[in-house]
Protein backbone atom coordinates (compact mmCIF):
# COMPACT_ATOMS: atom_id res chain seq x y z
CA UNK A 1 0.00 0.00 0.00
CA UNK A 2 1.31 3.49 -0.84
CA UNK A 3 1.25 6.69 1.17
CA UNK A 4 -1.88 7.89 2.97
CA UNK A 5 -3.32 11.28 3.94
CA UNK A 6 -5.89 11.61 6.74
CA UNK A 7 -8.55 14.33 6.38
CA UNK A 8 -9.51 14.27 10.05
CA UNK A 9 -7.10 13.57 12.86
CA UNK A 10 -9.43 14.12 15.79
CA UNK A 11 -7.14 14.24 18.78
CA UNK A 12 -7.86 12.13 21.87
CA UNK A 13 -9.81 13.72 24.71
CA UNK A 14 -7.28 16.11 26.25
CA UNK A 15 -7.17 19.28 28.30
CA UNK A 16 -6.37 21.27 25.17
CA UNK A 17 -9.18 19.84 23.07
CA UNK A 18 -11.44 20.22 26.10
CA UNK A 19 -10.77 23.96 26.21
CA UNK A 20 -11.47 24.24 22.48
CA UNK A 21 -14.72 22.32 22.86
CA UNK A 22 -15.92 24.55 25.68
CA UNK A 23 -15.34 27.60 23.51
CA UNK A 24 -17.08 26.08 20.50
CA UNK A 25 -20.10 24.47 22.12
CA UNK A 26 -22.04 27.52 23.14
CA UNK A 27 -25.74 27.59 23.96
CA UNK A 28 -27.76 29.08 21.08
CA UNK A 29 -29.72 32.16 22.01
CA UNK A 30 -27.99 32.62 25.38
CA UNK A 31 -25.60 35.56 25.64
CA UNK A 32 -24.43 34.90 29.19
CA UNK A 33 -22.20 32.21 30.63
CA UNK A 34 -24.53 31.88 33.63
CA UNK A 35 -26.60 29.11 32.08
CA UNK A 36 -29.35 27.40 34.00
CA UNK A 37 -29.17 23.61 34.39
CA UNK A 38 -30.32 21.83 31.26
CA UNK A 39 -32.35 18.62 30.88
CA UNK A 40 -30.26 15.46 30.94
CA UNK A 41 -29.16 14.40 27.48
CA UNK A 42 -29.96 17.77 25.93
CA UNK A 43 -27.85 19.60 23.34
CA UNK A 44 -24.39 18.11 22.76
CA UNK A 45 -24.97 15.70 25.65
CA UNK A 46 -27.14 13.78 23.19
CA UNK A 47 -23.94 12.64 21.44
CA UNK A 48 -23.29 10.44 24.46
CA UNK A 49 -26.70 8.83 23.97
CA UNK A 50 -26.09 8.28 20.25
CA UNK A 51 -22.42 7.25 20.27
CA UNK A 52 -21.85 6.05 23.83
CA UNK A 53 -18.27 6.12 25.07
CA UNK A 54 -17.00 7.14 21.62
CA UNK A 55 -18.80 10.50 21.80
CA UNK A 56 -16.55 13.57 21.55
CA UNK A 57 -15.53 14.95 24.91
CA UNK A 58 -12.64 16.03 27.09
CA UNK A 59 -9.89 14.41 29.13
CA UNK A 60 -6.52 15.45 30.56
CA UNK A 61 -3.81 16.32 28.02
CA UNK A 62 -0.21 15.28 28.31
CA UNK A 63 2.63 16.99 26.49
CA UNK A 64 3.46 13.96 24.35
CA UNK A 65 0.08 13.55 22.65
CA UNK A 66 1.06 15.05 19.31
CA UNK A 67 4.40 13.28 19.32
CA UNK A 68 2.66 9.93 19.78
CA UNK A 69 0.24 10.85 17.01
CA UNK A 70 3.13 11.49 14.64
CA UNK A 71 4.67 8.14 15.62
CA UNK A 72 1.37 6.38 14.86
CA UNK A 73 1.20 8.19 11.53
CA UNK A 74 4.74 7.09 10.70
CA UNK A 75 3.92 3.49 11.54
CA UNK A 76 0.99 3.48 9.12
CA UNK A 77 2.62 5.62 6.41
CA UNK A 78 0.28 8.59 6.95
CA UNK A 79 2.23 11.47 5.40
CA UNK A 80 0.18 14.24 7.01
CA UNK A 81 -3.33 14.93 8.20
CA UNK A 82 -5.86 17.63 8.98
CA UNK A 83 -5.71 18.29 12.72
CA UNK A 84 -9.06 19.43 14.10
CA UNK A 85 -10.28 21.08 17.33
CA UNK A 86 -6.99 22.70 18.28
CA UNK A 87 -6.97 26.27 19.65
CA UNK A 88 -6.04 28.90 17.08
CA UNK A 89 -3.25 30.27 19.27
CA UNK A 90 -1.40 26.93 19.11
CA UNK A 91 -1.29 26.63 15.30
CA UNK A 92 2.12 28.23 14.86
CA UNK A 93 3.79 26.17 17.59
CA UNK A 94 2.32 22.91 16.26
CA UNK A 95 3.75 23.67 12.82
CA UNK A 96 7.14 24.52 14.34
CA UNK A 97 7.20 21.35 16.45
CA UNK A 98 5.97 19.03 13.68
CA UNK A 99 6.75 20.67 10.32
CA UNK A 100 4.86 19.23 7.40
CA UNK A 101 2.84 16.72 9.42
CA UNK A 102 -0.42 18.59 9.97
CA UNK A 103 -2.81 20.83 8.12
CA UNK A 104 -4.70 23.09 10.54
CA UNK A 105 -7.83 25.09 9.69
CA UNK A 106 -8.78 27.68 12.35
CA UNK A 107 -12.42 28.26 13.24
CA UNK A 108 -13.46 31.91 13.48
CA UNK A 109 -16.90 33.31 14.23
CA UNK A 110 -18.68 35.12 11.40
CA UNK A 111 -20.25 37.29 14.10
CA UNK A 112 -16.85 38.94 14.60
CA UNK A 113 -17.06 40.54 11.16
CA UNK A 114 -13.85 42.11 9.87
CA UNK A 115 -12.00 41.27 13.08
CA UNK A 116 -12.35 37.61 12.11
CA UNK A 117 -11.23 38.38 8.56
CA UNK A 118 -8.10 40.13 9.79
CA UNK A 119 -7.39 37.34 12.28
CA UNK A 120 -7.71 34.70 9.55
CA UNK A 121 -5.18 36.55 7.43
CA UNK A 122 -2.82 36.86 10.40
CA UNK A 123 -3.11 33.16 11.23
CA UNK A 124 -2.33 32.21 7.64
CA UNK A 125 0.55 34.63 7.13
CA UNK A 126 2.16 34.43 10.60
CA UNK A 127 1.27 30.97 11.91
CA UNK A 128 0.94 28.93 8.74
CA UNK A 129 -2.79 28.14 9.03
CA UNK A 130 -3.77 26.08 6.00
CA UNK A 131 -7.45 26.95 5.52
CA UNK A 132 -10.65 27.99 7.28
CA UNK A 133 -13.10 25.72 9.15
CA UNK A 134 -16.86 26.28 9.34
CA UNK A 135 -18.94 24.31 11.86
CA UNK A 136 -22.55 25.42 11.63
CA UNK A 137 -23.54 23.08 14.43
CA UNK A 138 -21.51 25.32 16.77
CA UNK A 139 -22.36 28.75 15.33
CA UNK A 140 -26.02 27.84 14.75
CA UNK A 141 -25.71 29.62 11.39
CA UNK A 142 -25.89 27.64 8.12
CA UNK A 143 -22.73 27.93 6.08
CA UNK A 144 -24.41 30.06 3.40
CA UNK A 145 -25.31 32.79 5.92
CA UNK A 146 -24.02 36.08 4.43
CA UNK A 147 -22.08 36.82 7.60
CA UNK A 148 -19.59 34.17 6.49
CA UNK A 149 -19.08 35.80 3.10
CA UNK A 150 -16.23 38.19 4.04
CA UNK A 151 -14.33 35.18 5.37
CA UNK A 152 -14.93 33.20 2.17
CA UNK A 153 -13.75 36.18 0.12
CA UNK A 154 -10.57 36.34 2.20
CA UNK A 155 -10.01 32.60 1.63
CA UNK A 156 -10.16 33.20 -2.12
CA UNK A 157 -7.76 36.13 -1.80
CA UNK A 158 -5.30 34.07 0.28
CA UNK A 159 -5.68 31.00 -1.94
CA UNK A 160 -6.71 28.73 0.95
CA UNK A 161 -9.56 26.18 1.09
CA UNK A 162 -12.48 25.98 3.48
CA UNK A 163 -13.79 22.85 5.19
CA UNK A 164 -17.49 23.03 5.99
CA UNK A 165 -19.26 20.68 8.40
CA UNK A 166 -21.78 18.92 6.14
CA UNK A 167 -23.88 16.34 7.97
CA UNK A 168 -26.75 16.08 10.40
CA UNK A 169 -26.06 17.19 13.96
CA UNK A 170 -27.20 15.14 16.94
CA UNK A 171 -27.12 18.18 19.22
CA UNK A 172 -30.87 18.30 19.78
CA UNK A 173 -31.07 21.93 20.89
CA UNK A 174 -30.59 23.27 17.37
CA UNK A 175 -31.91 22.45 13.87
CA UNK A 176 -30.78 19.05 12.64
CA UNK A 177 -30.20 20.32 9.10
CA UNK A 178 -27.70 23.11 9.85
CA UNK A 179 -25.13 21.06 7.94
CA UNK A 180 -27.34 20.15 4.96
CA UNK A 181 -25.39 19.99 1.66
CA UNK A 182 -27.85 22.39 0.03
CA UNK A 183 -26.19 25.27 1.89
CA UNK A 184 -23.02 24.60 -0.12
CA UNK A 185 -24.78 25.38 -3.38
CA UNK A 186 -25.04 29.12 -2.67
CA UNK A 187 -21.40 29.26 -1.57
CA UNK A 188 -20.11 27.51 -4.67
CA UNK A 189 -22.29 29.69 -6.93
CA UNK A 190 -21.13 32.93 -5.29
CA UNK A 191 -17.45 31.89 -4.90
CA UNK A 192 -16.60 29.64 -7.87
CA UNK A 193 -12.86 30.03 -7.17
CA UNK A 194 -13.17 28.86 -3.55
CA UNK A 195 -12.03 25.30 -2.89
CA UNK A 196 -14.53 23.67 -0.54
CA UNK A 197 -14.38 20.31 1.18
CA UNK A 198 -17.63 19.04 2.65
CA UNK A 199 -16.58 17.41 5.90
CA UNK A 200 -18.41 14.18 6.81
CA UNK A 201 -19.76 13.79 3.25
CA UNK A 202 -23.27 15.08 3.83
CA UNK A 203 -24.83 12.13 5.66
CA UNK A 204 -27.76 11.38 5.60
CA UNK A 205 -28.37 13.50 2.49
CA UNK A 206 -26.03 11.40 0.36
CA UNK A 207 -27.88 11.81 -2.93
CA UNK A 208 -27.86 15.60 -2.55
CA UNK A 209 -24.14 15.47 -1.80
CA UNK A 210 -23.41 13.40 -4.89
CA UNK A 211 -25.42 15.77 -7.08
CA UNK A 212 -23.62 18.85 -5.75
CA UNK A 213 -20.21 17.21 -6.17
CA UNK A 214 -21.10 16.63 -9.83
CA UNK A 215 -22.41 20.20 -10.15
CA UNK A 216 -19.51 22.24 -8.71
CA UNK A 217 -15.91 21.74 -9.95
CA UNK A 218 -14.27 23.08 -6.76
CA UNK A 219 -16.42 21.11 -4.32
CA UNK A 220 -14.92 18.00 -2.67
CA UNK A 221 -15.82 15.87 0.34
CA UNK A 222 -14.24 13.71 3.02
CA UNK A 223 -15.48 10.63 4.84
CA UNK A 224 -14.62 11.70 8.40
CA UNK A 225 -16.69 10.32 11.31
CA UNK A 226 -17.96 7.34 9.29
CA UNK A 227 -16.73 3.78 9.70
CA UNK A 228 -15.43 2.78 6.25
CA UNK A 229 -16.71 -0.79 6.37
CA UNK A 230 -20.29 0.47 6.45
CA UNK A 231 -19.90 2.53 3.27
CA UNK A 232 -20.16 -0.67 1.25
CA UNK A 233 -22.91 -2.29 3.31
CA UNK A 234 -26.20 -2.81 1.50
CA UNK A 235 -28.97 -0.65 2.90
CA UNK A 236 -26.57 1.77 4.61
CA UNK A 237 -27.62 4.65 2.38
CA UNK A 238 -24.13 5.06 0.93
CA UNK A 239 -24.84 3.14 -2.28
CA UNK A 240 -24.91 6.15 -4.61
CA UNK A 241 -21.86 7.68 -2.94
CA UNK A 242 -19.86 4.50 -3.43
CA UNK A 243 -21.05 4.05 -7.01
CA UNK A 244 -20.14 7.58 -8.07
CA UNK A 245 -17.07 7.73 -5.86
CA UNK A 246 -15.74 4.73 -7.76
CA UNK A 247 -16.42 6.32 -11.15
CA UNK A 248 -17.45 9.88 -12.03
CA UNK A 249 -16.51 11.36 -8.65
CA UNK A 250 -13.35 9.36 -8.04
CA UNK A 251 -11.28 12.58 -7.95
CA UNK A 252 -13.56 14.28 -5.39
CA UNK A 253 -13.42 11.96 -2.34
CA UNK A 254 -10.85 12.13 0.47
CA UNK A 255 -10.78 10.01 3.60
CA UNK A 256 -11.01 11.19 7.19
CA UNK A 257 -10.15 8.37 9.58
CA UNK A 258 -11.43 9.92 12.86
CA UNK A 259 -9.66 7.03 14.54
CA UNK A 260 -10.26 8.17 18.12
CA UNK A 261 -13.99 8.32 17.44
CA UNK A 262 -13.77 4.82 15.95
CA UNK A 263 -11.67 3.51 18.81
CA UNK A 264 -9.04 1.81 16.65
CA UNK A 265 -5.79 2.45 14.82
CA UNK A 266 -4.93 3.58 11.33
CA UNK A 267 -4.10 0.12 10.03
CA UNK A 268 -7.51 -1.29 10.86
CA UNK A 269 -9.31 1.59 9.16
CA UNK A 270 -7.04 1.49 6.11
CA UNK A 271 -7.77 -2.23 5.80
CA UNK A 272 -11.51 -1.47 5.84
CA UNK A 273 -11.07 0.96 2.95
CA UNK A 274 -9.07 -1.68 1.13
CA UNK A 275 -12.02 -4.03 1.61
CA UNK A 276 -14.47 -1.72 -0.16
CA UNK A 277 -15.44 -2.54 -3.76
CA UNK A 278 -13.20 0.20 -5.17
CA UNK A 279 -10.87 0.01 -8.14
CA UNK A 280 -7.24 -0.08 -7.07
CA UNK A 281 -6.48 3.25 -8.75
CA UNK A 282 -9.56 4.82 -7.12
CA UNK A 283 -8.56 3.56 -3.67
CA UNK A 284 -5.16 5.24 -4.05
CA UNK A 285 -6.91 8.48 -4.96
CA UNK A 286 -9.24 8.30 -1.96
CA UNK A 287 -6.42 7.51 0.47
CA UNK A 288 -3.77 9.87 -0.90
CA UNK A 289 -3.90 11.32 -4.40
CA UNK A 290 -7.02 13.45 -4.11
CA UNK A 291 -5.91 15.12 -0.88
CA UNK A 292 -2.42 15.75 -2.26
CA UNK A 293 -3.99 17.42 -5.30
CA UNK A 294 -6.48 19.35 -3.15
CA UNK A 295 -3.63 20.85 -1.11
CA UNK A 296 -1.66 21.59 -4.29
CA UNK A 297 1.14 19.14 -3.59
CA UNK A 298 0.97 17.12 -6.83
Distances (CA, A) of 270 to 13, 158, 219, 221: 22, 33, 24, 18
Give me the pLDDT at residue 23, please: 61
Which bin fits 249, alpha (ψ -120 to 50), beta or left (φ > 0)?
Answer: alpha
Q: Is residue 184 part of a domain?
A: yes
Give me the pLDDT at residue 32, please: 47
Tens digit of pLDDT for each residue in 178-188? 999 999 999 99
Mean pLDDT of 96-124: 96
Q: Is residue 201 part of a domain?
A: yes
pLDDT-based confidence at residue 33 (cuts at 50, 70, 90):
very low
Output the average pLDDT for the chain: 91
Q: Is residue 31 part of a domain?
A: no
pLDDT-based confidence at residue 135 (cuts at 50, 70, 90):
very high
CA-wise closest residue to 213 among 260, 181, 238, 242: 181
Tens digit of pLDDT for each residue in 219-267? 999 999 999 999 999 999 999 999 999 999 999 999 999 999 999 999 9
pLDDT-based confidence at residue 38 (cuts at 50, 70, 90):
confident
Q: What angle do CA 245, 270, 166 make, to 5 degrees?
A: 50
Distances (CA, A) of 21 to 87, 135, 149, 256, 283: 9, 12, 24, 20, 33
Q: Which domain covers residue 206, as residue numbers? A: 4-25+40-294
- What is the domain-level CATH number for residue 258? 3.20.20.140
> Does the pLDDT at position 170 exceed 80?
yes
SS3 helix, strand, coil % of the chain, rounded to 5?
A: 45, 10, 40
Q: Is residue 164 part of a domain?
A: yes
Structurally, the chain folds into a number of domains equal to 1
Cα gap 130→106, rounded to integer Å: 8
Tens digit of pLDDT for each residue in 59-105? 555 679 999 999 999 999 999 999 998 999 999 999 999 999 999 99
Cβ-contact 5, 287 below 8 angstroms: yes
> Does the pLDDT at position 29 exceed 70?
no
Q: Is residue 196 part of a domain?
A: yes
Q: Is residue 276 part of a domain?
A: yes
> Does the pLDDT at position 119 exceed 50?
yes
pLDDT-based confidence at residue 165 (cuts at 50, 70, 90):
very high
Cα gap 295→261, rounded to integer Å: 25
What does residue 74 show for φ and ψ, rounded to 5 degrees?
-60, -40
Q: Is residue 32 part of a domain?
A: no
% of the chain surpassing 90 pLDDT: 78
Cα gap 51→31, rounded to integer Å: 29
CA-wise closest residue to 166 among 149, 183, 154, 141: 183
Cα gap 107→118, rounded to integer Å: 13
Give me the pLDDT at residue 57, please: 65
Cα gap 263→286, rounded to integer Å: 21
Tens digit of pLDDT for each residue in 183-216? 999 999 999 999 999 999 999 999 999 999 999 9
Q: Is residue 186 part of a domain?
A: yes
pLDDT-based confidence at residue 19 (cuts at 50, 70, 90):
low
Cα gap 190→182, rounded to integer Å: 14
Report pTM.
Answer: 0.86
pLDDT-based confidence at residue 14 (cuts at 50, 70, 90):
confident
CA-wise closest residue to 298 among 74, 97, 98, 3: 3
Distances (CA, A) of 96 to 64, 93, 126: 15, 5, 12
Amino acid sequence: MGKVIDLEIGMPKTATTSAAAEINRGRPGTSTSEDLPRPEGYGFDNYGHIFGSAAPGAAPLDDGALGREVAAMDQSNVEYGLLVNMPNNEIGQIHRDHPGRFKIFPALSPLDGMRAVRELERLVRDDGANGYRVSSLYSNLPANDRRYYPLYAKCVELGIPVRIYTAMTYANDRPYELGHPRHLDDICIDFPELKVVAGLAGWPWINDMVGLLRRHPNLYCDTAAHRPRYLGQQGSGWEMFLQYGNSLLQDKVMVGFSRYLMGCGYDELIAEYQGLPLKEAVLEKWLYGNAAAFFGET
